[in-house]
Structure 1
């Protein structure tokens, strides 16, 4: 399992505009056959929309660690130097297929994103630190009124990891797929019938300001719903939206023990959490304190960061991502043994991540990346193969 949701790694840029993004990372070598330098990616447009589609393949070249983009043939182009204020990036757009048609490009060994937009090209800028990507939580972002979305992927010598993501926003629907060496195809990311409009309807009906996450264009077109992390940051959601649940968790584990078993392949590695005042201390099997967490707030919960920071280590990070999943899914009160593997208990508390709840409820297979560590318990929308023959992105109807 690659560390897609195990940390908030952002190799495409260092700009603040990327906060909340999530990219796939390289995994240990284990492929049985050599992975070619590029593989085919077929994009199928089933959106039913008449406006043109633009596709971008942006990322970090794994062999050189340089940032740049790939053209339709999979050739890498490094970004030129940026500026302050940011300067326009070269036009990396690839013409996408018209509705009802498909187009095939080649993707290189990257850790990056496949963007697609409808009707308009995206506006990318370069700073001295790298690429500034769309940050539509900012009302002045030049991409604010464009309907777009992206997939995330890593292609390396160990294979392909390709996922759909809603970590930053829920927008134009799509699915991802991979063809394996035996010819079979694995796919994920499709919505249920009516799932697109159903998600927005449910968010509007949810009390507490959740409908304010929805962004529309002046002509009334629904563009997206921001993640609750951005909702808190922009004031669309109240900062105390998760306080009641967090307080109840803190009260429970002042007199009970929360047991975290973070590695499925290491069932004997356990950590034990108890609350003392404003701090939850975790001990190992010897009783030694290994890490401690201050009582988190909604920002920390929705972003899986700040007070729930998750470094890429073997102790604090794995415990933190388990806590983050438990808070977002509201399972910490119903199960003192985490992570909870039973999705039937997810999002059942009145105080929960209603955005993530709505996303998962409308996925055809129930899988999604609706927050940073949504891969805890294998709930993520990911396809992977060590010897990929072809990849797929399917643009689905907005209904």
Structure 2
């Protein structure tokens, strides 16, 4: 499926023709797919009233659009073309009257800024600024006319816009940001799914910073990709310089000629990952490949042009399924200059090692720019059509998606999830159907409109740094229950059948944020590697030596004392780490890192620091090096101090004030003592990220917690009468 979907998305990006034709998918879409709510968060310089949103895609082979004001899925019809657009040089567009589809809504008009996506494929979320885009709808079978900026008469000339591509199909949710045609404004994308799935992609610099960095670093050949008048960076082949006859029209021609020449006398062998190892040779102009495992044949029928190599078009986008698999590999290898012509014929080429990309000329510098980790999170982006070869794209695939957030303006200045999304569940195990609620007020009608009936909420999962208040009337004034940064089952207090309104808001009294170490804004001397840390994350930072440093943007809600906890691993004793501000001029504190046993044996070390309020950069530096770091968390110390002060986690019957159970000591080092353990059916302990770490059926009077990592943990108690309670403990 991965290889088929790669081609499908690359086709979706092609804008060589104006009309978007029907896509012949190789799978049948399950239109019973769960609806996935997408929250649009505005982190841009534009007001909600100046941001326009439209959604177009396909259902059951028909072209449709989603009315973002109502959520209704509607067929594309020429009768939708009622909006008067600009007319350039007398060109009235396909309808000859300058009228275009009335399919856009202002962000301010979208209820709760949430769009619910049903089963849909070939879908684009189009986001424009200061004006709607002018799409022309033909019919459900013919599709629509998209912006074509190569046409000087196109009505969308001068309108800034961005695109999120997605498909919600039988193989899950697929979504990505894209830089394939151009960059116009920073964007961010996050997806949550069942089983703790979470992935985040996008840019984390301002628009001005990105444009400045491009201008200061672009080599002369690519400088013309920047359109200063419009503030846009175009894909190279979309500029006159890289078109045939232009100054860079033969940019890749010599490299392609050398490849075709070298492998006319010997074999090119490469491993394509999931699709196997291929052996190929040029005969005439045809590059024919055979898969070594089963003899499957694939071809490139002629030598591609420089433009075709950049775009993954023409000779690199034709034929059958396996032809396109090989063509995508060769296209990616040309853009990245991953085909090593210094290796002898017959040697197996390594196209998968990212450190070899964009090193030797010629390579696509536009792509290199967007893959820089100080521009795009984890260096992941869609910079050319086949950037997903060896998973270097900004694609997010959630097999069982719950919700997603599109951050307009990218993640600059945001140190944690900006939306305060709370997820409501229909059971107390957090496995039932879930609906996301971003910051805002929701009365009973609003909850019902999102598919939440009054008695359907049994539990809430609240994002750290935010709080949820439940009210027992529809006016946000009655008896209330406040939940912050926690998983809370609502059965015990009976709030699942009492709450008729919910308010989601920031919680400045309780703050916690986790920073992945590899998501630096700048660094010196370090590298990343795949982590084996069971507490999560894909990468950790290593190769840290004396004098190395990393910088991160944070946004601290209020000035005060915070606990900073670092997830570290080291085979060395007494290495050190210090936290800095103001480029090292302000020392915030330091910790000693112990010998944890190996480079991938992980432990937590922490210290308390005083931080000012506001958005600024902090740095992690070292005078010794010799350790790895996976992530660090910053949280206010109020919860830890309160737990330490009372010495035990205690639950009290709210009606009789009788102690129901007690956990002591708290903080705890080795053994946790349980009062009234005879009434307990099960104890489950979770770490601060929500991962279950201990489960005990019918516990005795004590349980061992030696295996817990230092820090805050949540203890969930299920009694014999099936009531459930939770409390926090601190493991020393």
Q: If the length of structure 2 is used for normalisation, what is the TM-score? A: 0.47
Partner of 1:243: 253
Query: Offset of 1:307 from its aligned partner?
Result: 1.7
User: Which residue is equivalent to 1:55?
Assistant: 53
Indicate if the aligned counterparts of 1:58 and 1:70 stay in contact, CA closer than 8 A. Answer: no
Q: Which residue of 2 aligns with 1:16?
A: 17
The aligned runs of 1:1-399 (5 Å cut-off) are 2=2, 3-7=4-8, 16-17=17-18, 35-36=33-34, 38-50=35-47, 52-61=50-59, 63-81=60-78, 85-87=93-95, 88-97=99-108, 103-111=113-121, 112-127=123-138, 129-182=142-195, 184-191=197-204, 196-198=210-212, 200-201=214-215, 205-208=218-221, 210-217=222-229, 221-222=230-231, 224-231=232-239, 232-233=242-243, 238-262=248-272, 264-265=273-274, 267=276, 270-285=277-292, 290-313=298-321, 315-333=322-340, 337=348, 340-361=351-372, 362-396=375-409
Query: 2 CA distance for matches of 1:25 and 1:366?
Result: 30
* Structure 2 CA distance for partners of 1:312 and 1:339, relative to 1, 3 Å: farther
Quote the Cα distance in structure 1 between the aligned partners of 2:25 and 2:296: 32
Counterpart secondary structure, 1:6: helix
Higher Cα Rg, which structure: 2
Deviation (angstroms), 1:110: 1.6
- Which secondary structure does the structure 2 equivalent of 1:384 belong to? strand
Q: 1:153 to 1:287 in 2, by over 3 A?
A: closer
Q: Secondary structure of 2:117's match?
A: strand
Distance 1:142 1:215, change over 3 A: farther
User: CA 1:133 to 1:317, structure 2 compared with 1: closer, same or farther past 3 Å?
Assistant: same
Displacement of 1:139 after TM fit?
2.6
Secondary structure of the structure 1 residue equivalent to 2:237: helix
1:131 is displaced (CA, Å) by 0.5
- After superposition, the C-alpha distances for 1:183-217 in whole angstroms (9 at most, x for unaligned) are 553211234577622553157x3122x22222344
Shift, 1:118, TM fit = 1.0
Q: Distance in 2 between matches of 1:152 and 1:303?
A: 18
Distance apart, 1:280 and its partner CA: 2.6
* 1:97 CA drift (Å): 4.9
CA distance in 1, matches of 2:390, 2:175: 18
TM-superposed CA distance for 1:73, in Å, is: 3.5
Which protein has the bigger strand share?
2
1:326, 1:247 → 2: CA distance?
14
> Secondary structure of 1:355's match?
helix
Q: Deviations over 1:314-352 (max 9, x none)?
A: x21111111111111111126764561111111112211
Between stretches 72-81 and 274-283, larger displacement belongs to 274-283
Structure 2 SS opposite 1:89 = strand
SS of equivalent to 2:386: coil
RMSD value, Cα: 3.6
Task: Decide whether aligned partners of structure 1 residues 10 and 394 sit closer, same or farther in structure 2, where only a CA change above 3 A counts.
Answer: same
SS at match of 1:365: helix
In structure 2, the CA distance between the partners of 1:324 and 1:156, relative to structure 1 (3 Å rule), is same
Secondary structure (helix, strand or coil) at the match of 1:66 reads strand
Aligned-partner Cα distance in 1 for 2:409–2:329 = 32
CA separation of 1:235 and 1:387: change in aligned 2, threshold 3 A: farther
Contact residue 70 and residue 108 of structure 1 kept, 8 A: no
Residue in structure 1 matched with residue 719 of structure 2 by the alignment: none
For 1:178 and 1:202, the matched residues in 2 are separated by 33
Question: How far apart are 1:13 and its partner, in Å?
Answer: 10
**What 5-or-longer segments of structure 1 have no aligned partner?**
none
**Is the CA contact (8 Å cut-off) linking 1:260 and 1:322 kept in structure 2?**
no
Report the Cα offset of residue 54 of structure 1: 0.6
Deviates more, 1:240-249 or 1:108-117: 240-249
| Mapped partners of 1:12, 1:225: distance in 2 | 17
| Distance of 2:237 and 2:290 partners within structure 1 | 29
- Give SS of 1:326's match: helix
Q: Secondary structure at the match of 2:101?
A: coil
Displacement of 1:251: 3.3
What is the TM-score with the length of structure 1 in the denominator?
Answer: 0.82
* Mapped contact 2:37–2:114 kept (Cα < 8 A): yes
